Chain A
């Protein structure tokens, strides 16, 4: 039987579906019976979601003019 502590160590593998079928079933069984681990898994999933949704539009700034110059050299070669 998987303990809560062990589940805590494998939670990302479960969320990312990087787990074999057998381990997946034992995590799922544990989650069905343990509300604390359900809460933990939910917290981790929300953490990942928060990072994924990171819509902070950091201003990329302007590309260095030297890069644009390099690019036009490229277009000269291509045409």
Chain B
């Protein structure tokens, strides 16, 4: 959804029709909507920004060349992300980079185990985030910047899933297909990734309040 202007935005169907005809306005709109997100996503596969930019450039070439084969079985966004994932994977393999999508980031607990007592109840319970609400997020910019910084530090497979599901709003089946992972692994990675971001925001909120959690409250 990033970079998308609500006014005069063409629907996906119109964009696809436009792209098939080689319409520049349609292409520019898709580019403006997806390019930054694609660059961020490419970094899950190739770490250097030059390589990521190259992968995204190749993706646009493939999208322009291959749009005739797009049948609309998935959303346009999800299709473009799969094209990128394939290109970036190949590039990473060629560069001898071992992808850790299958073995990292599955085992860490969602919540620090020290916060629970032996019987699994909260020892150090979470506080209320009453100052954050969907309509009016106080300190929202700072919180978002913080969340994004934590996202950057997640293991690549957790980051990739959080990007696709939460930032780009893709469905679970689409995310599984793009990343080549199973449904259950997708769920684990998503929850682990979100949990780390939640924990980091919690730390920030506590520091801002200038108090530690009181387990008796």
Which A residues are closer than 8 A to B by beta carbons? 3-6, 8-13, 16, 18, 36-37, 39-40, 42-44, 46-61, 63-64, 67-68, 70-79
Contact = CB atoms under 8 A, between A and B. Distances in A.
B64 A74 contact: yes
B27 A44 contact: no
B198 A44 contact: yes
Contacts of A4: 116, 120-122
25 contacts: A3-B116, A3-B121, A4-B122, A5-B120, A8-B110, A9-B109, A10-B191, A12-B194, A16-B190, A18-B172, A36-B121, A36-B126, A37-B122, A40-B111, A46-B132, A60-B34, A60-B35, A60-B36, A64-B57, A67-B27, A68-B24, A68-B27, A72-B24, A75-B23, A78-B22
Contacts of B144: 50, 54, 56
Contacts of A39: 125-129
B120 A60 contact: no
B201 A70 contact: no
Interface residues of B, number: 59
A51 B129 contact: no
Interface in B34-87: 34-36, 57, 60-61, 64-65
B134 A43 contact: no
Contacts of B122: 4, 36-37, 40
A12 B32 contact: no
A51 B119 contact: no
B110 A47 contact: no
Contacts, number: 158
Nearest to A9: B110
B202 interface: yes
B215 to A, nearest CB: 9
Contacts of A16: 172, 190
Nearest to B130: A42
Interface string B89-128: 0000000000000000000011101001001111001111
Nearest to B205: A43
Contacts of B33: 60
A64 B81 CA distance: 19
B187 to A, nearest CB: 6
Interface in B1-15: 1-3
A42 B22 contact: no
Those 10 A-B pairs whose CB atoms lie nearest each other, nearest first = A75-B22, A3-B120, A74-B22, A36-B125, A12-B191, A58-B36, A5-B120, A51-B166, A60-B35, A8-B111
A13 B187 contact: yes
Contact of B198 (A10, A13, A43, A64): A43
Nearest to B151: A51
